């Protein structure tokens, strides 16, 4: 199961966003708490203390004046007399105040304002009642200027610092991100891809990224050395093998020309001839793979419907010897941009595999709009064998028992297919046969 990875910049953005959200929530909570403390707790505490203080003075002097300041006004109502005749009431008690019972604390509507009202009774229900009206606009303004406004400015500063932190962090890790993007876009499997060049990133790199670039450059140099060594060895070995194969092939031609050969000798020579042809084809394939970079620069648009019959015709004797029906099923015209030699190697390897592992029935080459399929009625492969089908020199139990071969056919085919950015699919059932499909994307 492939683990879903998250980009580094995405993680950084999430962290900064989470930080901003948490700080915003904290500041908003601070603003709310400040407003609540000022308007609910402090004002309530002040009114209750003011009422208690007034009642203590009232007991000493019933004629003590009521509170009357810029922010607070007091009204005293004695239940024994009417509000209009109550002395020292700072005027007639507003009607909207009289409807509230003793102990009431809250906002009321009064002269297009919303002051806070606290109703206090001295002792019992028949005693004088004090109405304290507190106009809290000035206090709210003070709370805004000394509480809410500073917290809001702090929140803006937090936003600014968070954005600055994000930009600095982005700049710090941008070399890593650019390095990852470069490596992600680099086509390591393509022969015509230029060598890894990280020189432009060095100017932006910090110490850690510079160490990574040095390590990648060193690894790329070693890898290029290994690849070149393998290519030279394959090329030289294939060239050296050509000479003995040519000698063996020429000697075999001379032996086959003699007419006084028994039937067993003729069959033996035929098998030897096929083996020599197989080895010659394998050597040509290895040479082609060794020259992969040169081959990929060759752009030839070919109609496979014209090429395939010739390749199939070469293998008709092999199919006839095994009693198999080898045919072509053309369902569409297929044009492909690739060297004809590559197509020949791919198709020949697939057909030889199919013929080697088919004991009876048929082998069909099916041409569709964008695909070629080689379908046989052979021994098939199990799901476990399918997982190893493209490994070099791998052969299943039934394959080793039923056919001679090297186990290189599908491995070579896959290398060539990937070299040209095509796709290969294999479907197989034990005892029913195998279908190998090459999917092309250019034409």
- Does 340 lie in the same domain as 203? no
What CATH code is carried by the domain that includes residue 58?
3.30.450
- Does 438 lie in the same domain as 304? yes
pLDDT, residue 434, reads 93
| Structural domain count of the chain | 3
The token duo for 27 is 């500041």
pTM: 0.48
- Judge contact between 368 and 334, C-beta under 8 A: yes
Separation of alpha carbons 183 and 181, rounded Å? 6
The token duo for 275 is 């083996």
Separation of alpha carbons 15 and 129, rounded Å? 59
pLDDT, residue 436, reads 94
Whether residue 154 is contained in a domain is answered as no
pLDDT, residue 83, reads 47
* Helix H or strand E encompassing 213: helix 207-257
- Does 238 lie in the same domain as 341? no
- Judge contact between 392 and 411, C-beta under 8 A: yes
The token duo for 282 is 């394998």
- Does 14 lie in the same domain as 65? yes
Separation of alpha carbons 425 and 109, rounded Å? 82
- Does 326 lie in the same domain as 268? no
- Does 287 lie in the same domain as 303? no
- Does 443 lie in the same domain as 319? yes
Whether residue 48 is contained in a domain is answered as yes
Instruction: Classify 170 as helix, strand or coil.
Output: helix
Share of the chain above pLDDT 70, in %: 78
Tokens 């040209």 belong to residue: 420
- What are the Cα distances from residue 429, in Å, to 402, 424, 433? 16, 17, 6
Separation of alpha carbons 122 and 126, rounded Å? 9
- Does 288 lie in the same domain as 213? yes
- Does 104 lie in the same domain as 21? yes
Whether residue 308 is contained in a domain is answered as yes
Which of 255, 274, 297 is the endpoint of a domain?
297
pLDDT, residue 38, reads 62
Which of 140, 159, 179 is the endpoint of a domain?
140
Q: What are phi and psi of 344, to 5 degrees?
A: -65, -45
Q: How many of the other CB atoms lie within 10 Å of CB of 157? A: 10
- Does 207 lie in the same domain as 120? no
Nearest to 375 by CA among 318, 441, 438, 419: 438
Whether residue 181 is contained in a domain is answered as no
Whether residue 392 is contained in a domain is answered as yes
C-alpha torsion sign, points 385, 387, 389, 392: negative
Task: With a cut of 50, list the residues of the chain below it in pLDDT.
Answer: 1-2, 80-88, 401, 443
What CATH code is carried by the domain that includes residue 418?
3.30.565.10
pLDDT, residue 85, reads 44
- Does 311 lie in the same domain as 250? no
What CATH code is carried by the domain that includes residue 268?
1.10.287.130
Contacts of 326 (CB under 8 A, 6+ apart): 312, 315, 316, 319, 351, 355, 362, 363
- Judge contact between 178 and 204, C-beta under 8 A: yes
CA atoms within 13 A on the CB side of 78: 10
Separation of alpha carbons 408 and 295, rounded Å? 20
Q: What angle do CA 21, 24, 27 make, to 5 degrees?
A: 150
pLDDT, residue 81, reads 47
Question: Which contacts of 421-428 are long-range, i.e. CB under 8 A and separated by 24 or more positions?
Answer: 421/190, 426/381, 426/386, 426/389, 428/380, 428/381, 428/385, 428/386
pLDDT, residue 306, reads 92
pLDDT, residue 86, reads 47
Whether residue 319 is contained in a domain is answered as yes
Domain that holds residue 413: 298-443
pLDDT, residue 284, reads 75
pLDDT, residue 427, reads 92
* Helix H or strand E encompassing 303: strand 301-303
pLDDT, residue 433, reads 92
Whether residue 224 is contained in a domain is answered as yes
Whether residue 1 is contained in a domain is answered as no
Separation of alpha carbons 404 and 367, rounded Å? 28
- Does 281 lie in the same domain as 311? no
pLDDT, residue 7, reads 66
Q: What angle do CA 432, 433, 439 make, to 5 degrees?
A: 140
pLDDT, residue 14, reads 78
Tokens 């030897």 belong to residue: 272
Instruction: Classify 144 as helix, strand or coil.
Output: helix
- Say how many residues make up the chain: 443
């Amino acid at each position: 199961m492939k683990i879903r990875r998250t980009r580094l910049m995405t993680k950084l953005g999430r962290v900064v966003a989470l930080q901003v959200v948490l700080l915003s929530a904290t500041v908003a909570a601070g603003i709310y708490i400040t407003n609540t403390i000022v308007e609910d707790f402090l004002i309530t505490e002040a009114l209750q203390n003011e009422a208690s203080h007034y009642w203590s003075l009232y007991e000493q002097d019933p004629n003590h004046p009521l509170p009357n300041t810029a922010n607070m006004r007091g009204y005293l109502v004695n239940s024994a007399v009417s509000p209009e005749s109550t002395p020292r009431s700072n005027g007639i008690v507003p009607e909207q105040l009289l409807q509230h019972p003793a102990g009431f604390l809250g906002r009321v509507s009064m002269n297009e304002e919303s002051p806070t009202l606290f109703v206090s009774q001295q002792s019992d229900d028949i005693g004088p009642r004090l109405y304290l009206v507190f106009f809290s606009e000035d206090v709210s303004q003070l709370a805004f200027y000394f509480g809410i406004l500073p917290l809001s400015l702090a929140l803006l500063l937090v936003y600014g610092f968070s954005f600055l932190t994000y930009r600095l962090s982005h700049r710090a890790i941008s070399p890593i991100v650019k390095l990852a993007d470069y490596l992600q876009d680099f086509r390591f499997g393509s022969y015509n891809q230029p060598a890894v060049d990280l020189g432009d990133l060095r100017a932006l790199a910090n110490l850690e990224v510079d160490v990574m670039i040095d390590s990648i450059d060193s690894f790329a140099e070693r890898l290029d050395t290994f690849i070149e060594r393998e290519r030279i060895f394959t090329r030289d070995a294939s060239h050296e093998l050509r000479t003995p194969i040519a000698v063996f092939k020429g000697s075999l031609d001379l032996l086959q020309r003699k007419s006084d050969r028994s039937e067993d000798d003729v069959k033996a020579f035929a098998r030897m001839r096929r083996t020599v042809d197989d080895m010659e084809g394998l050597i040509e394939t290895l040479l082609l793979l060794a020259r992969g970079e040169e081959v990929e620069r060759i752009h030839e648009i070919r109609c496979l419907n014209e090429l395939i019959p010739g390749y199939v015709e070469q293998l008709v004797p092999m199919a006839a010897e095994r009693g198999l029906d080898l045919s072509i099923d053309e369902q569409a015209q297929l044009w492909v941009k690739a060297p004809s030699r590559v197509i020949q190697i791919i198709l020949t390897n697939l057909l030889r595999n199919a013929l080697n592992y088919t004991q009876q029935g048929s082998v069909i080459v099916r041409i569709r709009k964008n695909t070629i399929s080689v379908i046989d009625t052979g021994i098939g492969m199990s799901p476990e064998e399918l997982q190893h089908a493209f490994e070099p020199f791998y052969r299943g139990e039934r394959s080793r028992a039923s056919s001679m071969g090297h186990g290189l056919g599908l491995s070579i085919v896959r290398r060539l297919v990937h070299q040209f950015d095509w796709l290969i699919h294999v479907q197989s059932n034990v005892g029913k046969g195998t279908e190998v499909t090459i999917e092309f994307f250019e034409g």
